[in-house]
Structures are given as C-alpha cells and as structure tokens.
A and B are shown apart, each in its own frame.
Chain A
Amino acid sequence: MAFRRIELTPALRPLLLPNETLLFVQDAVGLYEGRYKVPNFQNGSAYLTTHRVCFVNNDEPRKYSVALELKDVEKYELYTGFLKSSPKITLYLRPSNPSLLNSGDRSASRSPTKTPIQTPPRSSTPLPPANTPRQWICPICTFPNPLPSNFGSSAAIPPCLTCGVKPNRAVIDVAINPSAPTLRPPNERSDDSMLQAGIDRSKNACPRCTFINDQALRNCELCGEFLSLSDIDDALTSGNSLSRNESPAPAYLGSVPSGEQIDSVKLSFRAGGEKPFMERLKGSMVQRKWLLEQAPTAPTITAGAANLTLDVQDGEVSFNNLPVSTERVIGVRGLERQNRNLRMNNQRAIAGAFEDLEALMSRAKEIIALAENFATQLADNPSLANSDAKEALDQSTALLALRPSDFSVTKDQISSSSSSLSLYHAELARSIADFLADDRRSILKKEGGAITLVDLWAIYNRARGIELISPSDLENSANLFDKLQLPVRLRQFKSGLLVVQERTRTDEKVAKSVLAWMESLSEAESWDKRVDRRWGPSILARDAAEKFGWSIAVANEELEMVEELGVLCREVGIEGVRWWKNPWITAS
C-alpha cells in the first residue's frame, strides 16, 4: 500500500520535506481505497504538495494522517459527481514495488561528490536516470548506472550513461527487484547479466571485482564499488530501520476483501474544490518536483548564468542530464580536488544567483545554504572572525532564511467554495502557528514568549515577502487558534491589546517568574534611598521588558496581569508606574 503515516507539525499540518511546497488545501475530504471507504479517514483535509498528497484527519489528526507520494501515482482522473455522489479524484498507483518506496532518503548519503562526466545522448525518456540510488551495471562497460526513480515495467529502458547501449531488461529487473533472481528462469538473461546476477548475492559479492564482502558493507572493501543494494538494504530496512525522515512502516488501512487488488485511491470532495485540486495535481504531476529533490546537490552552472533564467521544466532537464560520477580520487589529493570543485561551484552559484532577481529566487535555497555555511566557517575560524563580516553574514542568512516557502498559505491554495474563507483562515492560523513554533526562528522566545498581534503581523509579512496578508486576515486567523487547538493562543489583555503567546505560558507562570526576578534583584539596585528596605525593590515596566524580552506594551500588560493576581502593587509617580511586591495580599 502506498499510503504512509506522516509527521505533523505542532500546528497539525503535514511536515513538509525540504524543497516541498504546499500547493493546495481542501477540507471535507474523504478517502477511498479502490471502491471502499476507508474507516477513520472520512473527514479530513487534503493537502496537495509538490511531492505528495496528504490527508489529515480533522478529529484525530495525530492518529489518522497519511500521505501518498506523487511519484507512486501512475495516472489520475476526475469524476465530477452525480446526484448524491460527491466529486472524486482517482489516483491510480503504479504497480506496487515496495523496494522502491524507501529509497528516497538514501540518495543523499549515497552520493557524496558528483562531478559531471560525459553527458549521455539525450534520450526520449522523460525521466533521465540520475536520481535514484539503485543501480544497474551495464553489461558492456560495467558502468554502474543509476536507475530512474519512477521506473516501471512499462517504461522505456534507459541507455547506459557511459557507452549508450541499452541493456537487456533482465539486467534492470535485477536491479529493481532484488528478490527476483532466484525466481526467474535463468535462460531469460543474457550472458553478461548472467555474470552479474549469477554472483552469489546472499554473500554480498562485489559486482565489479567479485570480492565477497561482509553483509553490512555498502562499498566493496577492495575496489570501493557500490555494492548492489538489494540484499543489504532489505536487511537494513527491515532490521535496523535506518531511514530517518518518516515512519517507514506503510500504514495498512482497513481490511480489503481478499483477491481484490487495490491499485487506486480516491479522494472524495464532499465540499467541492475538486477542480482546482485537479488542476494543481496536474501541474505538479507534470513538473515532477520530487525529481529535483534528488538532483545533484552541487549547483551546475556551466558558463555564465545563461541557463539560470530557464523556467522550471527546462531547469529540471538541465539538472537531470547530469550524470552521476563514480570517479573516485582518494587521499589528500582527492580532498583537495573536492574542495576546489566545491569552491568553484560556490563561486558560480553566487555569481549566477545575483545576476538578476528571478535567478536569485530560483537559487534562494542554495544561497541560503551557502551563507549559512560561510557563517559557520567564519565562526569556526577565529583568525578570520572579522566581527563585521560575521554580523553581515549572520544577518543575511537570517533574512534569507525568513522566506518561508513552507509557511505561506495563500488564498489561491484554497478552493473558492463556500467555506473557503474560514478554511483559508484556519490554514493561515496553522501556518502562523508553525511559523511561531519554528525552532530556527524562535520568534516567541526572542519576544519573551508573547508577541503583540501588530508585531506578529509585521514579522510574518516580512517573512512571507510576497503575498502579504491583511491585518484582518491575521486577526481572524488568530481567533481560530483556540478552536484548532494550536500550540499558541491569542490573549486579550484588559486594555484590549492582543498578543499571541504559547499555550503553555499561563499567568501564574509569568507571575512566578516576575516575582522570582524581583526577589533576585540585588538590594543596592536602583531604588529610592529614602524608602525603607523592607519593602523590597521596585521595577518599571521598562526593566521587566528588558529582562524578559517583552515589548513595553506587553510588559505593561503582563505586569498589570500580575497585579491582578495580587502579586504586585503599583505606585503611580512622575516617572510612570512603578511596581512593588504586594505586601497587602501576601501578608494577609
């Protein structure tokens, strides 16, 4: 089954993968497997991202939330609904191939340095082979070719990247389906593939030098060749479960009558919204962003920035034509060369990215990563640590990183059906909650745990950069915090000031911390000498704001709240309100 459980953000939205962007949200969606309704998955929101279709249950989101990767979808169709039957979108799955499912997160660790080598002739295959960790060994030149991620039984066989010869299908089958070799009649294979497949896999033999390696090794001990992953991987995934990002176990949903093959999933749109969903689904199926995710990490600007302004699809092609290099240079020389390549790439990336704004946007992620990288390098290297440069870098990183592609919900991501406005606000509320809860930014922490709605509006809009939201939208969304049970809440102080703060931060806690702070104030500090010491120190709202990182308005309100609890009392003087420990209530 292609569904997997997904992780949710604190605000109960699907946790997006790096590079993944949210495209569309629709509520009141039900889920079908084949022709059957899936119990517990009948009332939820469907999130369409560039990589996945996620379903988040409305009532018990932590329990019943699943995602279907778009790369497992073969085709899709729209059913417009009839009488009482709601409109539905059917997603037909690729013939399930469980060994392919877990492969995504391994690619990153598997391909440390990829330097371009000879580009293969451009084939008619729409999905060039550069993206998956699975490899097939060319029987002609023994070059280990990567297997296309979406390779199915019906897809065209890609040619070898080095010699350009198309292999026998059996060779690829070996790579796809590692358990198959024992079942397959041997006479189907060509001689060369026999050579490969005939090696005793259970002993983890190296496909190149035939050295029999230990089961756990991934590279051949002798020649460094990537070992064919089949056996090892299955052992690893079932045993140690190395995959990190998401819970690996596919969730089996409900029981399906035996003998019935589930090859499709339906999303039933009970409150409409199927058409925009379909359109965006179409778009993302065409764009196939999930391929980009696995594209080589090093930026590939060959000469100048000519290809930077290409649109996404062209950019993708240019990415994908990069073959994976298995060239290996070992030792200090290798490291140096690696460094040199990296530096050159960085240089190109920076030069290209700043050439025009469009390019900058498309390169944003790389540039952020570079800036962060430089910042850490500077911090690590005290001799280089010019404080100005450091500050500038830190700042630029912060500013760049503020672009929350995964935080911005826009109105066009929400369908235009009747309930759309409240859905938009709900999604906006979730997005704001995520934004506030994001550890990298730690906005609430910087603001002392509470931020006024006005400040939040400013920061959030600055983070969005484009597609700004209106104050009333923000207020409407903030009013939904409680209803959606988000980890933040909107609080109205007596004066009417609205602040957003963490749900866990109660008045009592604030009072306690204020009191503890006041008790800790040193005796000599800042007070009127004429006043008897037994009354303890006094503070101004300004002091509290400084201490707790509040804004003055928030500090005032918090102190008034603490006063309300009877912990503090006030003295109105020429310099404003001065706060003292309350001896009336604590004494009695």
Chain B
Amino acid sequence: MSDVKGETTLPPYYPEFYGFPPFYTRQPNTLSWSSQLSQWRSFILGYCRAHKLWRLNLVDAMDTELFFNKSINRKLPLPTIREVVDDLVKTSNAEWLSSEKSIAYIFWRTPEDFASQIYGWIDSTGQKNTVLTLLELTEGDHSTDQEFYGMDQAMLNKCLNVLVKRGQAQVFSVGDDKGIKVW
C-alpha cells in the first residue's frame, strides 16, 4: 500500500479515480463536483479508517498518499481539501479542532456509531454498571481489537456524550481523569 505503482496494488478503499488527473482539480461544474466530492469524502474516511487516523492535519496530510498521487504527480490543493473536510463537518463526519481549520477530527464512523460500538463492547464484556476510565476504553488491553481503540480523547468525549444523552451512561470527573459508568 505504501508504494503505489499501479491501480491493481491499491487497497480497495482507494477510489477508481485516484489515477485520474482531473480528480485533483476542483471541478467547476456542479454535477461533476458533487460526484467528485463524494468520492473524496469516502476516500478520506476510508483512508483514515485503514490508517486509524483520528485527527488530520491538513498541511501534513497534503503530502501523504491521501492527497498526493506520486505516480501521476498530482496533488489536491489545500483549499479544495478544506472544502471537502468542510463538507464532512456538515454531515458530522469531521470536526474542526479550531476555527483556523488546519486540523480536523475525522469521524470515519459517526459519533452515534461509535457510541453504539462502545456500548456493545461494554455490554458484551460484562462491564455494565462498573466504572471505567476513558483510558481503559481507548488504550486498555482488552479493547485492542475494537475500532475505537486509540481514539482521541476529545472525540471519545463526544461519543460518550451521545450515550449520556441516550440515558445509557454517566460520566464522572475524578481529578483530571474521567470515568464512565454504563447501565
């Protein structure tokens, strides 16, 4: 995956247009743009899922394979990347870290999905009604096979808030640490 010689060696989440030069230019035609945009969206999400990327620094990412196809020497320009991420934010698949729009959290699953996953994992491992620290959730030895393993703390807070809203969990603050209890 690291070396992109031909389309055949590309992992499946790479869009078929990855080798198409106009893919790296924002199309002025609205119809073209909407399909281009959706391709970029799913590509970013798929890429981040595959690489377990939780936050994306746009400037750094520009030179990664995500936005830079070395084989045809084409790069998606920064403003267009921003536009795509903006669109992700609209559907709550992403969230800007600050108003500068240089770093974004990428929810390659929506917070709701993650919340359900966490709930399901706690349920299946019989940890209901026990207090878990947040670190146990994302970095504990038992959750390594889970998708939310290694999740950024700020993102995790957001997901847990969903559970709190559903009335399925409660978040405690113990000093600097946070704990959660699910029932």
Listed in ascending order, the chain A residues whose CB lies under 8 Å from chain B are: 528, 530-532, 535, 538, 563-564, 566, 569-573, 578, 580, 582-585, 588
Contacts and interface: CB of A to CB of B under 8 A. Distances in A.
Interface residues of B, number: 19
A520 B73 CA distance: 27
Contacts of A532: 7, 19-20
Given A569-B27, A584-B27, A531 B32 contact: no
A535 B71 contact: no
A298 B50 CA distance: 91
B17 interface: yes
Contacts of B72: 528, 530-531
Given A572-B25, A582-B32, 10 more contacts: A528-B21, A531-B21, A532-B7, A532-B20, A566-B32, A571-B22, A578-B22, A582-B22, A584-B27, A585-B29
Interface of B: 7, 17, 19-22, 24-25, 27-29, 31-32, 35-36, 71-74
Given A528-B72, A530-B72, A531-B19, A584 B24 contact: no
Contact of B29 (A535, A538, A569, A580): A569
B29 A564 contact: yes
22 contacts: A530-B71, A530-B73, A531-B20, A531-B21, A532-B7, A532-B20, A538-B21, A563-B28, A564-B29, A566-B31, A566-B32, A569-B22, A569-B32, A570-B25, A571-B21, A571-B22, A571-B24, A573-B21, A578-B21, A584-B27, A585-B32, A585-B35
Contact of A570 (B28, B31, B35, B71): B28
Nearest to B73: A530
Contact of B20 (A566, A580, A585, A588): A580
A584 B25 contact: no
A430 B143 CA distance: 82
A260 to B, nearest CB: 70
Given A530-B73, A531-B72, A532-B7, A585 B21 contact: no
Contacts of B31: 566, 584-585
A172 to B, nearest CB: 78
Contacts of B29: 563-564, 566, 569, 582, 585
A580 B71 contact: no
Contacts of A570: 22, 25, 27-28
A387 to B, nearest CB: 44
B21 A584 contact: no
Contacts of B21: 528, 531, 535, 538, 571, 573, 578, 580
B14 to A, nearest CB: 13
Give the interface centre of B19, B21, B32, B74 by most chain A CB atoms within 10 Å.
Answer: B21
A584 B19 contact: no
Contacts of A578: 21-22
Contacts of A566: 29, 31-32
A532 B71 CA distance: 10
A584 B32 contact: yes
